Amino acid sequence: MKHGKKYREAVKKIDSSRSYEIDEACSLVKEVRTAKFDETVEVHVRLNLKKSQSVRDTVVLPYQFRGEKKVLVFCKPDKEKEAMDAGAAFAGSDELIEKIKGGWMEFDIAVATPDMMKDVGKLGMILGRRGLMPNPKTGTVTFDIKAAIAELKKGRTEFRTDKTSIIHIAVGKVSMEPSMIAENLKTLLGEINRKKPSDAKGEFVQSVYLAGTMSPSVRVALAKAER
């Protein structure tokens, strides 16, 4: 893949033979930005997992950088007012399911009460491929709608390994202070390490790379990532 002059110049500022401490890596990511727009800063964390293992959970990062998301709640009529009062953009049952079957997708996150999951399961093909299917592991299947929405409004986001045991997730914008990006990254890595399988052997976090949307990546020192 060919890169432009700005990208090639940015690469020269990165020493590919070394790993950078978290604070230094976050400063360098800002320095090597190549786009005119406010790039998203993403981290790519490779884990040492068996083929049968995966890591999946949620995290609330200290510093938010995304706009407020529209929350949809699948619930029975007696829970609809609670959901709307808690800040949901949409709440309902059969009528919402039918709208989604018809192609309507004007929401960002879906929450469901346990008694709705049998019906919501019919949307598996639609919601699943978009990563929107409510799941108990991510706190989006619960009767405590108020608490769930409150967490989502704070910016709770899901992270999970892909088929190659890598977690890809945004931790900030290049316009943010390096210290804010660093704190988000440290919080995420702490949560990832807490999900280490009990039977995992060897070094759990194998590599951590930080990069802006259109910019070269910076390797993060593992000694810090394992804390």
What residues are paired with 109 via a beta bridge? 71
96 conformational bin, left if phi > 0, alpha if psi -120 to 50, beta if neither: alpha
Residue (of 175, 177, 144, 185) closest to 21 by Cα position: 185
Give the C-alpha separation, 201 to 203, whole Å. 7
How much is the pTM?
A: 0.74
Residue (of 156, 216, 170) closest to 25 by Cα position: 216
Say what the pLDDT of residue 7 is.
86
Residue with tokens 């995304």: 66
Distances (CA, A) of 113 to 60, 82, 105, 222: 22, 12, 19, 40
Three-state DSSP state, 92: strand
Give the C-alpha separation, 198 to 196, whole Å. 6
Say what the pLDDT of residue 129 is.
85
Q: Supply 208's token pair.
A: 């951590």
pLDDT, tens only, 98-147: 999 999 999 989 999 999 999 999 999 999 988 899 999 888 999 999 99
Say what the pLDDT of residue 48 is.
94
Please check the confidence at residue 61 and state whether its pLDDT lies above 80. yes
Please check the confidence at residue 226 and state whether its pLDDT lies above 60. no
pLDDT, tens only, 179-221: 999 999 999 999 999 999 888 788 899 999 999 999 999 999 9
Give the C-alpha separation, 188 to 42, whole Å. 12
Contact 135, 41 (CB under 8 A): no
Residue (of 109, 107, 111, 108) closest to 99 by Cα position: 107
Give the C-alpha separation, 20 to 62, whole Å. 22
Contact 160, 54 (CB under 8 A): yes
Phi, psi (5° rounding) for residue 150? -60, -45
Averaged pLDDT, 69-89: 95
pLDDT, tens only, 141-171: 999 999 999 988 888 888 999 999 999 999 9
Q: Which fold has domain 71-153?
A: Rossmann fold (3.40.50)
Give the C-alpha separation, 107 to 123, whole Å. 14
Give the C-alpha separation, 86 to 154, whole Å. 13
Give the C-alpha separation, 153 to 67, whole Å. 10
Say what the pLDDT of residue 202 is.
85
Name the residue ranges covered by the structural domains of the chain.
16-64+157-225, 71-153
Contact 124, 107 (CB under 8 A): no
pLDDT, tens only, 37-53: 999 999 999 999 988 88
CATH number of 16-64+157-225: 3.30.190.20
Give the C-alpha separation, 120 to 136, whole Å. 13
